Chains A and B, each alone.
Chain A
Amino acid sequence: MSAVRQAEASVLTRPLLTHELGSLAKPNWRVKAVAGSPIEDRDLEDARAWGERLDVEDHQELLELLRRAPLDRAGKDEVKRWSSRYGVRFLETVGLDVVYDGEQQRSEMYQWAVAHAEGFEWRGIVRAFDNKYYSKAAVTGPIGLREPYHDEEFAFVRDVARAELKVPITGAYTIADWSFDERYFTDTSFGAGTRAETRRAARRAFILDVARDLIRPNLDALISLGAGWLQIDEPGGSTDPEELDLFAESFNESVRGLDAVFSTHLCFSDYDLFFPGIEAMSQCRQFAVGFANYDSRDLGTGASDRPGYRVLPKFRDLPYGPVLGVGVLDIHTDFVEPPELVRDRVLHSVQVFDDPTRIHVIPDCGLRTRSWDVAFAKLRNLVAGVELAKRDLGLG
C-alpha cells in the first residue's frame, strides 16, 4: 500500500481529527543552553516541572545535562533533542490525534530552511509585527539543497512519538516571498512602463526554482524515511493577490511525482483571495487554515455568530474535495478559548460542509508566541471542545 493510501486510511478521513500546526515556544532552558547562557535554578525547575507534568521518561537526565552547562556542541544538540521530546509529549498529553515536536530542533521556519540551502546570504533582521522579527536572506546564486534538513529530526521524532505524525515544512512560495531578490530581478531603472512584467517573470523563475531545487528534494528525502503526511506551510501564500497562480504552481511543482499525503497551511490572510487560484492544487488533500483570529468570542453556530468563518463554503466547493483543517484558537492572544466556543466553531464548520470527515480541528497557526502554560490550556480546550462537538453530532 502506498504512503498516500496508508495515511488516508489511518488518519486523513477521520472525522474531527485534531492536530498541531507547527511551532511551540522554546523553553528558556533550551534557549539558554544552546546560546551558551547560564542556566538558572528557575530554568531547571521549569524543566523538572514540565518533565513530570508531561511524563517525559528519564527527564532527570536532562536536568543533569543542564547542570553541566555551558555545553559543547554535542551537549547542545542533546538539549535540542530533549526539547523535541518534551514537545512531542506536550502535544500528546493535551490529547491531539496527530503531532510533531513543536519544531524544537529548528531555529525558525524560514531561517532553518534557508540555512540548509545553497544560493542565499543573510541580510539582517526585519520586523513581522509588534516586537516579533525574523532574519531575512537574499537569493544571490543558484538555488540548491545543501543537505536534507529534516531527516535527523524526523527520524528522532518517529522513534519518540506514540501518536501519529505529520511533518511541517516551509513552502517554496513563502521562502521566496520572505527573501530579498538579488539574482532574478535587480533592475533599479525606476519609472519604466515594462517594469512590472519583467519583475513578474523573475518572481516566477525564483519561486519555481525554490520549489523544484530545494523543497522537492527535501520532501523526497523525508518520504524515503517513511514520512506519510507532509504539511507544506505557506503563511506567505496569499501575500500578493496577483501571484496566487504562482503559489498554486509552486505547490504542484514541489510535490510533482512524489507519493505521500500533502497538505498546506495558510494563515492571516484575506482567504477570499485564494479563490480560484487554489483550484489548481489538486494534490493538496487538506488545507489547514487560521480563522479564529477573525472571529467573535461569543457562542453560537449560525453564520452570523461566526464572522471569521464566512469563507468556508469556498473551501467546501473546491472541485477535488480536500479536508479543511479549521483554526479554532487565536494564537496571538492569551485568551483561552472555552471548550464551548471551540465546539460552536466546529459545529458551524460541520454544518457548512455537511460532512464531519472533511473537517479537522487545529489552532490558527503555531503557538510559539504563547507560553507553554497558555498553549497547553488552549490545546486542552481544543480537544475538550471537539469532544463536546462529537457528542452533539453523535460521533461517539
Chain B
Amino acid sequence: MNRPAPPAAYLHGIYPRSEAVVAATRDLERGRVTSERVDEAYRADREAFLRAQRDAGLDFLSDGLLRWQDLFRPLVEGSKGMEARVLVRWFDNNSFYRAPELGPEGGTVLGEVPPWVLEDGIPEPQVASLPSPYLFSRVTLGGGDPDDVMLGLARDVLAPAAAMLAQSGHRLVHLEEPWIPYAGIDDGSWPALERAVATVREAASGAAVVMHTYYGDAAPHADRLRRLPVDAIGIDFVETPLDALPTPWESGLVAGCLDGRSSVLEDPGEVTAFVRRAADRLEPTALYVSSGSELELAGPEMAGRKLEVLGEVARQLREEAA
C-alpha cells in the first residue's frame, strides 16, 4: 500500500449564494437597491464562506466564485472577440449558462478580468476554479474546428487567466471538466487536449493544476485521463464505480465524494472509509478530497452542511495519516 499523506481538502466551482445575496441581486434587477448594497452582500457572503471553510479545516480556500454568473462569464466578458448571449442548459440540471460565442474573426484574447476575480484578502493557500479547455471549447459557439478553438482558448484565455491567478496567490488551479464523462470525447481530440492542458499548466507556474471530471462515469475515459499532463485527475464517485478505474492510477487523485446535487447528507465515516478504499486501490501520487460536482446546486443550507462533512472527512483522514 502506498497511501499518499496527508490528503488535502477543498471545495471547487461555484458555491451557492446566501439568501441575502439572492435578495440583493433580485432587488438590484428590480431597481430597488444600489450596486453598493449588492457589493456589501457579496462581501458578507464571501467572509461567511471563508469562515466556514476555515472552521471546517479545509486545506485550500476558495472565494466561492460567488459573483460569477456562470463558469465562463468573467472570462468571456474579459476577452475581446467573445460574447455571452444564448442561454443553454447546464448538462442535466435546472440550471443554465450563457454560451460563449466567438465573433466572425474566430479568435479571442483575454484582456482584463473583472477585479473581483482576483480579489485579495483571501488567506493562502487559495484554490481557483476555471473551465477545462475541453469543456470551454465544447460550450463555445462559432470559431470553426472545436479542437482548434480549444487550443486557442487555452493559449489566449485560460493560460493568461491561470497565470494571473497563480501570481495572485492561488496554489491550486482546478479545471472543471464535466463534458468528457457526460458527452464523451473523440479519440482524435486527446492529443489537442493534452497540448491545451499543458499550456495551462505551464502558465500556472507555482500552482498545482488538477482536472476534475463530474456529471458522468469517467471510467471509460480514465486510462487517457490519468496520462494528461496535470498534477491530479478528479473523479466524481457519485457517478463512477471505483472498481472500474485502472490501477495503479499513476497520477494524483481528486476524490469527489459528496453529491453536489442531492440534499441527502453523506455520513463522514462512510465517506472516509470510501476515500481510504479508493486510495488503497488506486495508489495515487497525491490525494485531494472534494465534492463530486460543485455544490452550487445543493443550495446554501445543504452546501453548508456538506462543507462540514468534507471537513470532518479530511480530519479523519489526516488522523489516520498522522
Q: Which residues of A contact B (CB under 8 A)?
A: 28, 123-131, 133-134, 136, 138, 177-178, 180-182, 186, 188-193, 195-196, 235-236, 238-241, 268-270, 293-294, 332-333
Indicate whether A136 sits within 8 Å of B69 (C-beta atoms), given known contacts A195-B241, A239-B89, A293-B87. no
Q: Is the CB of A129 within 8 A of B97?
A: yes
How many whole Å from A263's CB to the nearest CB in chain B? 21
Number of inter-chain CB pairs below 8 Å: 116
How many whole Å from A371's CB to the nearest CB in chain B? 10
Task: Known pairs A123-B301, A190-B271, A191-B277; list 11 more (Cβ under 8 Å).
Answer: A125-B299, A126-B94, A128-B95, A130-B98, A136-B299, A180-B302, A191-B243, A191-B278, A195-B241, A238-B89, A293-B87
Q: Which residues of A contact B97 (CB under 8 A)?
A: 129
Q: Which residues of A contact B19 (CB under 8 A)?
A: 124-125
Q: Is the CB of B257 within 8 A of A190?
A: yes
* 10 closest A-B pairs by CB: A191-B242, A180-B263, A124-B299, A129-B96, A131-B25, A193-B241, A190-B237, A240-B92, A124-B301, A191-B237
Roughly how many angstroms separate A131 CA and B73 CA in the complex, as a whole number? Answer: 13
- The residue that A186 contacts in the complex, of B26, B239, B264, B302, with Cβ under 8 A, is B264
Interface: B86 (CB within 8 A): yes
> Which residue from chain B places its CB closest to the CB of A124 in the assembled complex?
B299
> Which residue from chain B places its CB closest to the CB of A333 in the assembled complex?
B85
Roughly how many angstroms separate A268 CA and B96 CA in the complex, as a whole number? Answer: 9
Q: Which residues of B contact A333 (CB under 8 A)?
A: 85
Indicate whether A191 sits within 8 Å of B274 (C-beta atoms), given known contacts A236-B94, A293-B86. yes
Interface: B29 (CB within 8 A): yes
Indicate whether A268 sits within 8 Å of B241 (C-beta atoms), given known contacts A138-B263, A241-B92. no
Roughly how many angstroms separate A153 CA and B102 CA in the complex, as a whole number? Answer: 46
Q: Which residues of B contact A (CB under 8 A)?
A: 16-17, 19, 22, 25-26, 28-30, 69-70, 85-89, 92-98, 217, 237-244, 257, 259, 262-267, 270-271, 274, 277-278, 292, 296-302
> Which residue from chain A places its CB closest to the CB of B93 in the assembled complex?
A239
Q: Which residues of B contact A125 (CB under 8 A)?
A: 16, 19, 22, 299-300
How many whole Å from B167's CB to the nearest CB in chain A? 29
Q: Is the CB of A126 within 8 A of B25?
A: no
How many whole Å from A241's CB to the nearest CB in chain B? 7
How many whole Å from A212's CB to the nearest CB in chain B? 22
Q: Is the CB of B89 within 8 A of A268?
A: yes
Can you spell out 5 A-B residue pairs with CB atoms less than 8 angstroms apart?
A123-B263, A124-B19, A130-B69, A191-B274, A193-B241
- The residue that B17 contacts in the complex, of A127, A177, A236, A293, with Cβ under 8 A, is A127
Q: Which residues of B contact A239 (CB under 8 A)?
A: 89, 92-94
Q: Is the CB of B300 within 8 A of A124?
A: yes
Q: Which residues of A contact B237 (CB under 8 A)?
A: 190-191
How many whole Å from B70's CB to the nearest CB in chain A? 7
Q: Which residues of A contact B302 (CB under 8 A)?
A: 123-124, 180
Roughly how many angstroms separate A189 CA and B270 CA in the complex, as a whole number? Answer: 7
Roughly how many angstroms separate A192 CA and B217 CA in the complex, as a whole number? Answer: 11
Roughly how many angstroms separate A138 CA and B302 CA in the complex, as a whole number? Answer: 11
Q: Which residues of A contact B95 (CB under 8 A)?
A: 126-129
Roughly how many angstroms separate A149 CA and B300 CA in the complex, as a whole number? Answer: 29
Q: Which residues of B contact A293 (CB under 8 A)?
A: 86-87
Roughly how many angstroms separate A192 CA and B219 CA in the complex, as a whole number? Answer: 12
- The residue that A188 contacts in the complex, of B17, B242, B270, B301, with Cβ under 8 A, is B270
> Which residue from chain A places its CB closest to the CB of B90 in the assembled complex?
A129
Roughly how many angstroms separate A366 CA and B271 CA in the complex, as a whole number? Answer: 43
Roughly how many angstroms separate A270 CA and B90 CA in the complex, as a whole number? Answer: 11
Q: Which residues of B contact A240 (CB under 8 A)?
A: 92
Q: Which residues of A contact B16 (CB under 8 A)?
A: 124-127
- The residue that A128 contacts in the complex, of B96, B267, B292, with Cβ under 8 A, is B96
Q: Is the CB of B92 within 8 A of A127?
A: no
> Which residue from chain A places its CB closest to the CB of B301 in the assembled complex?
A124
> Which residue from chain B places its CB closest to the CB of A364 in the assembled complex?
B87
Q: Is the CB of B259 within 8 A of A188?
A: yes
Roughly how many angstroms separate A241 CA and B182 CA in the complex, as a whole number? Answer: 11
Q: Which residues of A contact B239 (CB under 8 A)?
A: 196
- The residue that B262 contacts in the complex, of A180, A191, A193, with Cβ under 8 A, is A180
Q: Is the CB of B87 within 8 A of A129?
A: yes
> Which residue from chain A places its CB closest to the CB of B73 in the assembled complex?
A130
How many whole Å from A298's CB to the nearest CB in chain B? 14
Q: Is the CB of B87 within 8 A of A268?
A: yes
How many whole Å from B156's CB to the nearest CB in chain A? 25
Q: Which residues of A contact B277 (CB under 8 A)?
A: 191
Q: Is the CB of B92 within 8 A of A190?
A: no
The winner among A126, A192, A235, A333 for most chain B CB atoms within 10 A is A126
> Which residue from chain B places its CB closest to the CB of A174 in the assembled complex?
B94
> Which residue from chain B places its CB closest to the CB of A131 in the assembled complex?
B25
Roughly how many angstroms separate A192 CA and B277 CA in the complex, as a whole number? Answer: 12
Q: Is the CB of B22 within 8 A of A133?
A: yes
Indicate whether A191 sits within 8 Å of B240 (C-beta atoms), given known contacts A178-B94, A241-B92. yes
Roughly how many angstroms separate A294 CA and B196 CA in the complex, as a whole number? Answer: 29
